[in-house]
């Protein structure tokens, strides 16, 4: 037998014949909600419960509802039950649940809390469902056959409020998706009323922000919200709510973002603690009970709870983004719409429902009026009507004889013929006929309303106000403005601690925590190397590194690796990518760029530069022209406040001066002012602190005014301290 040969097919034709019908079925009949706010599976389930009489009366077993729904929805029982679960009050997924439930239906905020089987749980429709089915029996929407043609079901539900905006809905189709966030019912009703009265109304003035069933806090960004309202796409940030129990030293998280689960949050926190990224948390527990959600974090008593939560907001889904995609089926076509377009389409749909209801009422009342007008005619001669019926030999001739005797049509004659004998009295007929005038007025009013859309809109507005009053709830999701939130940066996640920096002559930098330094203070250095500067600071400070090439390098101290005193440290040539002959000669650590740098040059000039001149908004790592290059540099001082210094010249003259006499500059490469005047070709060779020189009589060298030439060193200052004095 010959092997089966592959059949050649045209890919385009195959896609059109096989894939496209499947894709369209998923989009149109399964995954994307329609203007009434429901997917087909939701609508079929709720309609089944409505027909079962579950809008009133007692609850019934969920299994009973699931079984009945299968007459409309040809899916497995668990698929239908899962659809039901999400719409129940017990599951807490919706702002306004549609199903009143009894039993365990799991929780929207839990990944692992499973719902009970349908044979154990009970359900009925919530009171708000009256607004979904109002006037359904008055031809407000189209009905179609179910899958086997044995039943009828509505194509849409005539919702009296924009349910599409009130309850969250998510669906993934083929090649597209939908993700609707929920809004507060009162806000939606008021916004709709304002929109009906003025289509150009500022939506954001009434529909403040989304409102999610899980509560939490919404970080309000006006630009993001307006983009969502305008286009139907975008995202907004949600964060958890927490409280601090000082007595037990624990943080209690009691509301979380709608987009996450308790288990995902706990897993993330456990991983952070295990990896050492957060050291202040001792234990984490899920204490969710009948009172609601609660995640408890035991923390160290010395820890700051707000700081811990800021880290968790950054590193876990305790702060998360809800991405909106307002994709809705309109007359069988998917459309991504902003709020204004959604309200416009819903209003068009609702006006259509009311018009159909008006036509139904007009038709019913007109038929009734027609019957009563026939009844009125027999009022003129009841005896004649009785005589006609009594004298008619065959039953089939009763109606024709009445028609001929009173000049009425068949429908009227049938109605009169069916009146019971006891009602063929003047009182009964007069009472019925008295309804004619009121019926005529009612029909006229209904026809007037039908012809004028403004009157229909007033009906919609009245219904919306009643719904807002009857079912409205306070907001669950608190709004906090973006400006009131501390931005969580990488720096918030960095551990801060005290440390000491050591700079060596051969371009090595050691960053040693004080704890480590106390345990092992012995330094290891390369041969012929020595420490030329050491400063005490902390891990989150900024570090300025000045090189002999008139350049300053900037970095965060936490970007430098810790080391022990017994290690060589970081080689700055590699760390900063220095030139071969470039060396770092001075370090400054700062938090706020307060203070001054004093640059002393061989020509006797000194430049006092405001440290703010080195602060940059763009966090540049390298600044040229860090100080003047017109004369060789003698020394750099960091001045947190002005002080006295000693300038020494090459001809052994010294000058004690106060830095407050030097005016500060903002230009980094300023030459500064003359402090030590040169004489006989001398130049400045050193600048020292008074502690470094230890003069016997500092007043002898002190001057109030600069520039000055200074005084020759006294013998006692010259001989005993000469080595120390001229060491640079």
Q: How far is CA 13 from CA 10, 16, 19, 22, in A?
A: 5, 5, 10, 14
Q: Are residues 501 and 460 in the same domain?
A: no
Number of C-alpha atoms within 13 angstroms, CB side, residue 684? 28
pLDDT recorded at residue 726:
47
Residue 171 is assigned to a structural domain of this protein: no
Domain assignment of residue 145, given as a range: 38-158
Is the per-residue pLDDT at 186 higher than 60? yes
CA atoms of 86 and 98, how far apart (whole Å): 9
Q: Are residues 134 and 257 in the same domain?
A: no
The alpha carbon of 5 is separated from its chain's Cα centroid by a whole number of angstroms, namely 56
Is the per-residue pLDDT at 601 higher than 90? yes
**Of the candidate ranges 374-388, 405-419, 644-658, the one whose mean pLDDT is the lowest:** 374-388
pLDDT grade for 4, boundaries at 50, 70 and 90:
low
Q: What is the pTM of this model?
A: 0.76
Residue 642 is assigned to a structural domain of this protein: yes
For the annotated catalytic residues, the residue numbers are 120
Residues 70, 55: contact at Cβ < 8 Å?
Answer: no
pLDDT grade for 439, boundaries at 50, 70 and 90:
very high
Question: Residue 589 burial by CB count (10 A; 0-12/13-18/19+): exposed, middle or buried?
Answer: middle
Edge-to-edge strands, sheet with 644-649:
684-689, 644-649, 653-658, 711-712
Q: Are residues 501 and 521 in the same domain?
A: yes
Q: Which residue has the higher pLDDT, 469 or 389?
A: 469
Question: Residue 105 burial by CB count (10 A; 0-12/13-18/19+): exposed, middle or buried?
Answer: buried
**Of the candidate ranges 279-288, 329-338, 532-541, 710-719, the one whose mean pLDDT is the lowest:** 710-719
Q: Which residue has the higher pLDDT, 116 or 681?
A: 116
Residues 213, 95: contact at Cβ < 8 Å?
Answer: yes
Last residue of a domain, one of 538, 565, 591: 591
pLDDT 10s digits, 250-266? 999 999 999 999 999 99
pLDDT recorded at residue 500:
92
DSSP code, position 520: -
Q: Are residues 564 and 598 in the same domain?
A: no
Buried b (16+ CB within 10 A) or exposed e, 53-77: ebbeeebbebbbbbebbbbbbeeee
Residue 650 is assigned to a structural domain of this protein: yes
Last residue of a domain, one of 565, 591, 617: 591
Residue 44 is assigned to a structural domain of this protein: yes
pLDDT 10s digits, 84-139? 999 999 999 999 999 999 999 999 999 889 999 999 999 999 999 999 999 999 99
CA atoms of 672 and 704, how far apart (whole Å): 18
- Per-residue pLDDT averaged across 530-542, rounded? 92
CATH classification of the domain holding 275: 3.30.1360.40
Tokens of residue 603, six digits: 């020509």
Tokens of residue 550, six digits: 């008139």
- The percentage of the chain sitting over the pLDDT mark of 90, rounded to a whole number, equals 63
- Per-residue pLDDT averaged across 261-275, rounded? 94
Is the per-residue pLDDT at 725 higher than 60? no
pLDDT recorded at residue 428:
78
CATH classification of the domain holding 104: 3.90.199.10
Residue 66 is assigned to a structural domain of this protein: yes
Is the per-residue pLDDT at 6 higher than 80? no
Question: Residue 523 burial by CB count (10 A; 0-12/13-18/19+): exposed, middle or buried?
Answer: buried
Residue 182 is assigned to a structural domain of this protein: no
Give me the number of domains the chain comprises. Answer: 5
Q: Are residues 532 and 599 in the same domain?
A: no
Q: How far is CA 439 from CA 355, 371, 444, 446, 550, in A?
A: 19, 12, 8, 10, 99
- Per-residue pLDDT averaged across 206-222, rounded? 95
pLDDT recorded at residue 488:
66
Q: Are residues 368 and 309 in the same domain?
A: no
Q: Are residues 56 and 153 in the same domain?
A: yes
Q: Are residues 640 and 519 in the same domain?
A: no
Q: Are residues 598 and 728 in the same domain?
A: yes
pLDDT 10s digits, 25-52? 777 767 899 999 999 999 999 999 999 9
pLDDT 10s digits, 623-638? 999 999 999 999 999 9
Residue 51 is assigned to a structural domain of this protein: yes
**Of the candidate ranges 58-72, 423-437, 521-535, the one whose mean pLDDT is the lowest:** 423-437
The alpha carbon of 684 is separated from its chain's Cα centroid by a whole number of angstroms, namely 63
Is the per-residue pLDDT at 66 higher than 90? yes
The alpha carbon of 216 is separated from its chain's Cα centroid by a whole number of angstroms, namely 10
Task: Dump the DSSP string for 374-416.
Answer: HHHHHHT-HHHHHHHHHH-SSGGGHHHHHHHHHT--HHHHHHH
pLDDT recorded at residue 728:
43
CATH classification of the domain holding 365: 1.10.268.10
Last residue of a domain, one of 113, 141, 158: 158
Is the per-residue pLDDT at 464 higher than 80? yes
Q: Are residues 646 and 683 in the same domain?
A: yes
**Of the candidate ranges 534-538, 566-570, 677-681, 707-711, the one whose mean pLDDT is the lowest:** 677-681
Residues 210, 477: contact at Cβ < 8 Å?
Answer: yes
Is the per-residue pLDDT at 17 higher than 80? no
Q: Are residues 599 and 710 in the same domain?
A: yes
Upstream peptide bond of 707 is cis (omega within 30 degrees of 0): yes
Q: Are residues 569 and 693 in the same domain?
A: no
CATH classification of the domain holding 662: 2.120.10.90
Number of C-alpha atoms within 13 angstroms, CB side, residue 287? 13
Mean pLDDT, the chain, rounded, equals 90
Residue 234 is assigned to a structural domain of this protein: no
């Amino acid at each position: 037998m010959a092997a089966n040969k592959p059949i050649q097919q045209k890919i385009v034709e195959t896609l059109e014949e096989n894939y496209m019908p499947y894709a369209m079925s998923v989009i149109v009949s399964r995954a994307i909600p329609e203007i009434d706010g429901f997917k087909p599976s939701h609508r079929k389930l709720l309609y089944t419960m409505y027909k079962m009489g579950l809008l009133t009366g007692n609850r019934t077993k969920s299994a009973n509802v699931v079984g009945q729904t299968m007459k409309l929805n040809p899916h497995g029982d668990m698929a239908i039950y899962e659809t039901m679960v999400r719409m129940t009050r017990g599951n807490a997924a919706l702002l306004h649940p549609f199903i009143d439930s009894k039993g365990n239906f799991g929780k929207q905020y839990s990944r692992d809390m499973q719902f009970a089987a349908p044979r154990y749980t009970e359900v009925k429709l919530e009171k708000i469902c009256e607004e979904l089915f109002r006037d359904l029996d008055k031809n407000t929407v189209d009905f179609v056959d179910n899958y086997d043609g044995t039943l009828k079901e509505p194509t849409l539900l005539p919702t009296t409020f924009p349910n599409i905006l009130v309850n969250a809905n998510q669906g993934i189709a083929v090649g597209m998706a939908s993700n609707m966030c929920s809004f507060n019912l009162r806000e939606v009703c008021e916004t709709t009323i304002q929109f009906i009265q003025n289509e150009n109304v500022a939506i954001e003035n009434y529909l403040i922000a989304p409102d999610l069933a899980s509560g939490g806090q919404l970080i309000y960004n006006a630009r993001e919200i307006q983009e969502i309202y305008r286009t139907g796409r975008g995202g907004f940030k949600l964060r958890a709510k927490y409280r601090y129990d000082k007595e037990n030293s624990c943080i209690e998280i009691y509301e979380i973002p709608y987009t996450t689960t308790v288990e995902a949050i706990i897993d993330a926190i456990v991983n952070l603690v295990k990896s050492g990224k957060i050291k202040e948390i001792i234990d984490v527990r899920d204490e969710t009970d009948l009172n609601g959600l609660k995640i408890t974090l035991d923390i160290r008593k010395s820890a700051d709870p707000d700081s811990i939560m800021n880290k968790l907001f950054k590193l876990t889904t305790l702060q998360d983004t809800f991405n909106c995609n307002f994709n809705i089926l309109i007359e069988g076509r998917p459309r991504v719409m902003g709020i204004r377009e959604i309200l416009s389409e819903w209003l068009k749909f609702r006006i259509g429902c009311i018009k159909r209801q008006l036509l139904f009422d007009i038709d019913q009342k007109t038929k009734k009026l027609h019957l009563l007008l026939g009844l009125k005619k027999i009022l003129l001669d009841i005896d004649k009507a009785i005589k006609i019926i009594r004298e008619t030999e065959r039953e089939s001739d009763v109606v024709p004889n009445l028609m001929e005797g009173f000049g009425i049509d068949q429908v009227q004659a049938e109605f009169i013929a069916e009146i019971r004998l006891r009602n063929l009295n003047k009182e009964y007929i007069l009472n019925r006929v008295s309804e004619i005038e009121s019926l005529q007025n009612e029909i006229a009013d209904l026809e007037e309303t039908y012809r004028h859309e403004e009157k229909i809109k007033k009906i919609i507005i009245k219904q919306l106000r009643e719904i807002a009053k009857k079912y409205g709830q306070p907001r669950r999701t608190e709004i906090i403005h973006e400006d009131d939130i501390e931005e969580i940066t990488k720096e918030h996640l960095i551990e801060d601690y005290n440390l000491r920096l050591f700079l060596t002559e051969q371009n090595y930098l050691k960053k040693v925590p004080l704890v480590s330094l106390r345990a092992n203070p012995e330094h290891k250095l390369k041969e012929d190397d020595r420490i030329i500067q050491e400063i005490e600071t902390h891990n989150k400070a900024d570090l300025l590194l000045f090189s002999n090439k008139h350049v300053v390098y900037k970095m965060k101290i936490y970007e430098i690796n810790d080391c022990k005193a017994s290690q060589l440290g970081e080689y700055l040539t590699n760390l900063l990518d220095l030139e071969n002959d470039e060396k770092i000669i001075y370090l400054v650590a700062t938090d706020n760029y307060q203070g001054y740098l004093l640059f002393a040059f061989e020509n006797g000039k000194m430049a006092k530069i405001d440290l703010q001149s080195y602060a940059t908004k763009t966090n540049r790592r390298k600044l040229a022209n860090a100080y003047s290059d017109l004369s060789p540099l003698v020394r750099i001082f960091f001045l947190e406040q002005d002080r006295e210094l000693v300038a020494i010249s090459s001809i052994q003259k010294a000058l004690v001066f106060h830095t407050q006499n030097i005016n500060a500059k903002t230009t980094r490469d300023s030459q500064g002012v003359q402090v030590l005047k040169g004489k006989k070709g001398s130049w400045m060779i050193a600048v020292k602190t008074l502690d470094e020189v230890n003069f016997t009589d500092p007043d002898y060298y002190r001057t109030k005014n600069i520039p000055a030439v200074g005084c020759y060193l006294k013998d006692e200052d010259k001989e005993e301290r000469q080595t120390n004095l001229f060491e640079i």
